């Protein structure tokens, strides 16, 4: 009942607010930036704002970039403690039989999940991808169902998966826009960067046999600030690359699909990232570490009010040299019944520019507040009586 009341109050207060709906700008693309690939997309990681787009919604085969979803599901299972990096699993014959890019695992061989994940992230190993899929879902087929389910949850409306590797398959496709969203999600994980920044390494098999791991994303070594990404190439997909790079407060995600050569995909992705870093800057408008000045009253709690803050940092992107005249507006519910849990949504904060809402974020409770018991109320009366004497 408490949650229903909170939702009603929040919705009502937001509806009557004299504000436009959130507006996320798509900046005019620089005509000097020429892209020969079939599709390209460049976004700011923090705000999600678009700096450049070219046929970003065209459905295309993306080859091994499919593995970004395999990586994401593995990272999420690690986060949820369903698996650990040190878990040892046996490789199936199906996994060991994968062609294309591989680390030549042994059928029936035992491998750590961490080594399999590293092999996928660094060397785009098809066999290691299947090991991960079978470990998490029991079979590659079951895992693909999870991949498509997660794609729907993330709003990847132009994506469909048929396998976990990106090997050619009918009706498997994605878009530059969806790939950017997916890499944005993967980039959140420290475990991903633990492996994505490796240039060269080895996978040691039982018996001492070694497989060389070399990062397929050359920008890791040759582009300033690049610390992640995923390559892909097949005859049908051409040469594809999604990459992320960070300089100062600005992290970018660039995607190029269907380039004519490996050299061209790296060059055009570098051009995208250069365009972003040369022309844009990022500013933190609201910090999640800063408490909201106003407080929400607690009814029937051991505390009379609760401190709150923005759920996540709010960044805004702007072209260099342009003014950044942003204001904020806070909408908090008037009161809430105890108990309150840390992280409960108790309002909204809006970022406004030129009378238009350009970003919004939930305001959440910073602490737990339990419901007051009879003893708490008696002690409160005694304390107040003592003070009044």
- CATH number of the domain within which 337 lies: 2.60.410.10
Convert the pLDDT of each residue in 165-204 to its tens digit. Answer: 999 999 999 999 999 999 999 999 999 999 999 999 999 9
Beta strands in the chain (DSSP E): 39-44, 50-54, 88-90, 110-112, 200-204, 210-214, 226-234, 238-247, 250-259, 280-286, 296-299, 305-306, 308-310, 314-319, 327-332, 335-337, 345-353, 356-365
Q: So which residues are the catalytic ones? A: 64, 67, 124
Q: Is residue 130 included in any domain, yes or no? A: yes
Same domain, 223 and 303: no
Looking at the fold, whether 291 and 327 belong to one and the same domain comes out as yes
Domain count across the chain: 2
Domain check: are 296 and 273 in the same one? no
- 10 and 64, same domain (yes or no): no
Boundary (domain end) residue, out of 282, 311, 338: 282
Together in a domain, 278 and 297: no
Looking at 282, 311, 326, which one is the last position of a domain? Answer: 282
pLDDT band at 29 (very low <50, low <70, confident <90, very high): low
Whether residue 384 is predicted with pLDDT greater than 80 in this model: the reply is no
Tell me the pLDDT tens digit for each residue of 339-373.
Answer: 989 999 999 999 998 889 988 999 999 889 888 78
pTM: 0.82
- The per-residue pLDDT for 282 is 85
210: containing domain: 39-282
**Same domain? 151 vs 202:** yes
Residue 318 near residue 284 (C-beta atoms within 8 A): no
Residue 135 CA: distances (Å) to CA of 91, 109, 129: 9, 14, 10
- Tell whether 115 and 164 lie within a shared domain: yes
Residue 256 belongs to a domain with what CATH number?
Answer: 3.40.710.10
Q: Is the peptide bond before 238 cis (omega within 30 degrees of 0)?
A: no
Distance of CA 327 to the CA centre of its chain: 27
Residues 219 and 181 in one domain: yes
Residue 378 has pLDDT above 70, yes or no: no
The last residue of a domain, from among 253, 282, 311: 282
Task: Name residues whose C-beta falls within 8 Å of residue 350's C-beta, 6 or more positions apart in sequence.
Answer: 17, 19, 22, 328, 329, 330, 331, 357, 359, 360
For residue 9, pLDDT beyond 80:
no
Given pLDDT bands bounded at 50, 70 and 90, which one contains residue 6? very low
Same domain, 349 and 301: yes
Regarding whether 257 and 120 lie in a shared domain, the answer is yes
User: Is 214 a domain residue?
Assistant: yes
3-state secondary structure of 218: coil
């Amino acid at each position: 009942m408490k949650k229903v009341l909170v939702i009603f109050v929040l919705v009502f207060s937001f509806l009557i607010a004299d504000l436009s709906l959130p507006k996320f700008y798509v900046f005019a693309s620089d005509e000097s930036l020429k892209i020969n690939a079939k599709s390209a997309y460049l976004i700011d990681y923090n705000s999600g704002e678009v700096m450049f787009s070219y046929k970003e919604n065209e459905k295309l085969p993306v080859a091994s970039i499919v593995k970004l979803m395999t990586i994401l599901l593995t990272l999420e299972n690690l986060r949820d403690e369903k698996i650990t990096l040190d878990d040892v699993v046996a490789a199936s014959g199906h996994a060991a039989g994968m062609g294309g890019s591989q680390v030549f695992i042994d059928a029936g061989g035992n491998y750590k999940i961490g080594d399999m994940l590293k092999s996928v992230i660094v060397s785009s190993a098809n066999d290691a991808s299947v090991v991960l899929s079978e470990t998490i879902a029991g079979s590659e087929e079951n895992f693909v169902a999870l991949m498509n389910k997660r794609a729907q949850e993330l709003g990847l409306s132009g994506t469909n998966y048929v396998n976990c590797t990106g090997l050619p398959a009918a009706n498997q496709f994605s878009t530059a826009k969806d790939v950017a969203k997916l890499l944005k999600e993967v980039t959140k994980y420290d475990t991903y960067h633990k492996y994505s920044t490796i240039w060269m390494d080895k996978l040691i098999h039982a018996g001492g046999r070694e497989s060389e791991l070399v990062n397929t994303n050359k920008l890791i070594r040759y582009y300033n600030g690049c610390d992640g990404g995923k390559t892909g190439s097949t005859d049908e997909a051409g040469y594809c690359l999604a990459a992320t790079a960070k300089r100062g407060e600005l992290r970018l995600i660039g995607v190029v699909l269907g380039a004519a050569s490996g050299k061209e995909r790296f060059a055009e992705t570098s051009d995208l990232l250069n365009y972003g870093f040369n022309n844009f800057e990022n500013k933190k408008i609201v910090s999640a570490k800063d408490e909201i000045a106003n407080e929400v009253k607690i009814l029937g709690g051991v505390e009379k009010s609760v401190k709150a803050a923005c759920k996540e940092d709010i960044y805004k992107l702007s072209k260099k040299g342009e003014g950044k005249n942003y204001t904020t507006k806070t909408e908090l519910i008037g009161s809430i019944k105890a108990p309150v849990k840390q992280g409960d949504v108790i309002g909204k904060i809006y970022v406004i520019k030129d009378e238009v809402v350009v970003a919004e974020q939930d305001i959440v409770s910073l602490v737990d507040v339990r419901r007051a018991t009879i003893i708490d109320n008696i002690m409160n009366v005694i304390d107040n009586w003592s003070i009044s004497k």
